[in-house]
Chain A
Amino acid sequence: MSHASEHSAPAILNEVKATSLPRAKMVDNDRDFAWITDKICGIVEGKTPSWWWWCFAVACFMACFTVAGITYVVATGVGVWGHRSPVNWSWPIVNFVFWIGIGHAGTLISAILCLLRQKWRTSINRAAEAMTIFAVVCAGIFPVFHVGRVWYAWFLFPIPNYNNIWPQFRSPLEWDVFAVSTYGTVSVLFWYVGLLPDLATLRDRFALAGRETRAKIYGFFALGWRSSARAWSNYEMAYLILAGIATPLVLSVHTIVSFDFAVSLIPGWHTTIFPPYFVAGAIFSGFGMVLTLMLPLRAIYKLEDLITQYHIDCMCKITLATGTMVGYAYAMEFFIAWYSGNPYEGFTFINRAFGPYAWAYWIMISCNVITPQFFWFKAVRNNTTFVWVLSLFVNLGMWFERFVIICTSLTRDFLPSSWGYLSPTVIDIFTFFGTFGVFSVLFLLFIRFLPLMAMAEIKGVTPQADAFNGHKNPHA
């Protein structure tokens, strides 16, 4: 049979070959290993640029707003914030969900894209993971002080309090404590493991340049890493496992954050769509922030060969995909509110779009649903300034999403007699504004003292790192 079909096949078939599309280059201009090392280490080794000092000063000044705001709240009481019945969550929880969502893109880039073998992650994962950690720091400030008497915040941890009472594990708020603290810890560990080989590079370079103190400090944190292939074998396995566990972690963290809402009975919150919708929103906002941070860095440090147009395209496309998922979730929420026949649910959504917070709702829709649609166009993705401006709108829109979810549902729930309206106070606004300063201070320190990109990983995705020169391993 097979012989017959072979003979009867038209001769042209022998000449037809499957197309092979050229693989996107991860590093432009065929840069070699030494160039990559020099470029990235040069940022840390060089003199502190004056723009850095200016940005650092401004960031410190902004961070003072958070410090001052929190000091005032602790000294006076949470009444100085605008939150009062019926909106007891108000600004701090909006800000908490906003910041924790920002962090998710970092873990997505470092973990999920690692499992999916997306090589373009290598030049942005380090900075994105740093962003995750700093965003979790900013996020953590809010729930800790939102408990009111912050000196009792340790009641959240499984430590017996004065009366030997343990935390109550039936509450999603308690789940959240574990989710967020695990997320923070695992993000730091993952980041540090990734940094290890690059810290060794810096140690060796500082030692060579005769800068002993620096060599000692980086050497201390490099733990004696010496690039041994036997060590790489364990290292790569550990990195893969960390990526494997960080993936369900990042999905679970925002799922559990959404449980804070979805497990309650409040109309507009009590929906099963919340976990996937929150996760998509978190990744959307995180990529917005990655673009906001990486595009200026790329321009300042002339990193165009490492963060190529291909990288920007990929990030824009993920923003487009997740933004569209978020848009779908908004539409589906509306549809289900009507389809469920629940009058409270129906009212909540009409109230969201046309009630007293309609202005916030339409800001949210324009920023989150319309903005990403620009990324369909190559001309837009090629225009880095425009991409950067759009990324700011993504950040803005995602803050408003959390504001809309919290405020519209809480201000008008079941009983009109208990309806209200939330207006933030100046303390609320300043405390939130200041967290951008806290974030910037940490991020500026990171770009000054640590390698901005994972050098070892970038080298690993260049064509010259392939021992078989693009051919298949004959012994595999």
Chain B
Amino acid sequence: MAEHPYGLIARFNTPGDLYHAAEKVRDAGYKNWDCLTPMPIHGLDTAMGVKRSIVPRFSLTGGITGFCTGMSMIWWMNAYDYKIIVGGKPLFSPLFAFPVSYELTILFTAFATIGGMFFLNGLTQLYHPVLKYDKIHRATDDSFFIVIETSDPRFNADNTRALLAEAGGLEIAELEA
């Protein structure tokens, strides 16, 4: 037994088992816990009490920045910093600036979305106690896990273990920090 364990991990065979167990853990009032699933499970967010992701806020910011960058860049380059008269056309018009601004909107949104997702998920992560668990390869293959952290105020080695067992958890084990 490790001196300061990270938490308890339990395995479940099917998404259905995991779903019902997650509801029980949520209802028991735990906050610092997580499920590990090889693929996203439809509806698991509700079962875990996870709020809607805030990634779209990053995307919106990125998109607005991209569009404004495009418009102001084209105005500044072609109508302010170095004016070039071509075919008697206006030096700036939002119409000809639109296609490029549109592409930059998409480009910046993509970077902001992915950057936001990485930031919220804490990626790149060099180390995580869960990755040291010897059966963790099954979490990216065919099995489902619940991890409850010791940092949770409600964590109690015996009660938490009993809760996981009652919820149908198999092979309940302690994770080293």
Decide if B36 is an interface residue (CB 8 Å cutoff): yes
Decide if B167 is an interface residue (CB 8 Å cutoff): no
Bound complex: CA A77 to CA B73 (Å): 34
User: Contact mask B26-42 → A, CB, 8 Å, 1/0?
Assistant: 00000000111111111
A37 — which chain B residues lie within 8 A by C-beta? 38, 140-142
Decide if B165 is an interface residue (CB 8 Å cutoff): no
Within 8 A of B (CB), among A219-261: 223-238, 241-242, 245-246, 248-249, 252, 256, 259
Contact B100 A175 (CB under 8 A): yes
Q: Contacts A185-B107, A238-B113, A241-B109: A467 and B36 contacting too (C-beta < 8 A)?
A: no
Contact A158 B77 (CB under 8 A): yes
Q: How far is the CB of B50 from chain A (nearest CB, A)?
A: 5
Contact B50 A230 (CB under 8 A): yes
A13 — which chain B residues lie within 8 A by C-beta? none
A230 — which chain B residues lie within 8 A by C-beta? 34, 48, 50, 121
Contact A468 B38 (CB under 8 A): no
Segment of A201-209, A287-295, A379-387, A397-405 in the binding face: A201-209
A174 — which chain B residues lie within 8 A by C-beta? 100
B35 — which chain A residues lie within 8 A by C-beta? 228-229
A190 — which chain B residues lie within 8 A by C-beta? 110
| Residue of B40, B87, B125 touching A236 (CB-CB under 8 A) | B40
| Residue of A229, A249, A466 touching B37 (CB-CB under 8 A) | A229
Contact A252 B84 (CB under 8 A): no
B73 — which chain A residues lie within 8 A by C-beta? 158
Q: Contacts A223-B123, A237-B53, A259-B99: A186 and B38 contacting too (C-beta < 8 A)?
A: no
Contact A252 B99 (CB under 8 A): yes
Q: In the complex, what residue of chain B is closest to A186 when comparing beta carbons?
A: B110
Segment of A142-150, A160-168, A343-351, A442-450 in the binding face: A160-168
Contact A169 B41 (CB under 8 A): no
Contact A226 B128 (CB under 8 A): yes
Contact A226 B131 (CB under 8 A): yes
Decide if B106 is an interface residue (CB 8 Å cutoff): yes
Contact B117 A175 (CB under 8 A): no
Bound complex: CA A170 to CA B125 (Å): 45
A200 — which chain B residues lie within 8 A by C-beta? 140
Segment of A56-64, A98-106, A131-139, A452-460 in the binding face: A452-460
In the complex, how many residues of chain A place their beta carbon closer than 8 angstroms to a beta carbon of chain B?
Answer: 71
Contact B56 A241 (CB under 8 A): yes
Contact A169 B100 (CB under 8 A): yes
Contact A182 B117 (CB under 8 A): no
Q: In the complex, what residue of chain B is closest to A163 when comparing beta carbons?
A: B82
Bound complex: CA A203 to CA B126 (Å): 13
B156 — which chain A residues lie within 8 A by C-beta? none
Decide if B45 is an interface residue (CB 8 Å cutoff): yes
Bound complex: CA A460 to CA B22 (Å): 18
Contact B106 A249 (CB under 8 A): yes
User: Contact mask A171-211 → B, CB, 8 Å, 1/0?
Assistant: 01011001100100110011001000100110111011000
The main secondary structure of chain B at its interface with chain A is helix
Decide if A23 is an interface residue (CB 8 Å cutoff): no
| Residue of A166, A167, A179, A465 touching B99 (CB-CB under 8 A) | A179
A189, A241, A245 — most chain B CB neighbours (10 Å): A241
Decide if A475 is an interface residue (CB 8 Å cutoff): yes
Q: Contacts A226-B128, A227-B37: A237 and B55 contacting too (C-beta < 8 A)?
A: yes
Contact A34 B15 (CB under 8 A): no
| Residue of A166, A182, A229, A246 touching B77 (CB-CB under 8 A) | A166
Decide if B43 is an interface residue (CB 8 Å cutoff): yes
| Residue of A201, A466, A467 touching B141 (CB-CB under 8 A) | A201
Q: Contacts A234-B121, A237-B53, A245-B106: A197 and B140 contacting too (C-beta < 8 A)?
A: yes
| Residue of B55, B86, B118, B136 touching A241 (CB-CB under 8 A) | B55
Decide if A48 is an interface residue (CB 8 Å cutoff): no
Bound complex: CA A231 to CA B125 (Å): 12
Contact B59 A241 (CB under 8 A): yes
Bound complex: CA A174 to CA B86 (Å): 14
Decide if A340 is an interface residue (CB 8 Å cutoff): no
| Residue of B39, B55, B136 touching A465 (CB-CB under 8 A) | B39
Contact B18 A467 (CB under 8 A): yes
Q: Contacts A164-B82, A186-B110, A189-B110: A232 and B77 contacting too (C-beta < 8 A)?
A: no
Q: How far is the CB of A391 from chain B (nearest CB, A)?
A: 30
Q: Contacts A459-B38, A467-B41: A224 and B141 contacting too (C-beta < 8 A)?
A: no
B104 — which chain A residues lie within 8 A by C-beta? 178, 182
Contact A167 B77 (CB under 8 A): yes
Decide if B158 is an interface residue (CB 8 Å cutoff): no
Contact B45 A170 (CB under 8 A): no
Q: In the complex, what residue of chain A is closest to B105 when comparing beta carbons?
A: A245
Contact A233 B140 (CB under 8 A): no
Q: Contacts A33-B142, A207-B137: A252 and B103 contacting too (C-beta < 8 A)?
A: yes
Q: In the complex, what residue of chain A is closest to B77 when comparing beta carbons?
A: A166
Q: How far is the CB of B28 from chain A (nearest CB, A)?
A: 17
User: Contact mask A245-288 → B, CB, 8 Å, 1/0?
Assistant: 11011001000100100000000000000000000000000000
A226 — which chain B residues lie within 8 A by C-beta? 36, 125, 128, 130-131, 136, 139
Bound complex: CA A267 to CA B72 (Å): 35
Other A-B contacts than A227-B139, A467-B44, 19 sampled, CB-CB below 8 A, are A32-B142, A160-B82, A182-B104, A186-B106, A186-B107, A189-B114, A204-B141, A208-B137, A224-B128, A228-B36, A229-B35, A232-B40, A234-B55, A235-B117, A236-B53, A249-B103, A457-B39, A466-B15, A476-B46
27 sampled A-B residue pairs with Cβ under 8 A: A166-B78, A168-B78, A169-B74, A169-B96, A178-B100, A185-B110, A189-B111, A201-B140, A207-B137, A223-B123, A229-B22, A230-B34, A230-B48, A234-B116, A241-B55, A245-B109, A245-B110, A246-B106, A248-B102, A259-B99, A455-B38, A460-B40, A460-B42, A464-B15, A466-B42, A467-B19, A467-B47
**3 smallest beta-carbon distances between A and B, as pairs:** A224-B125, A33-B142, A166-B77
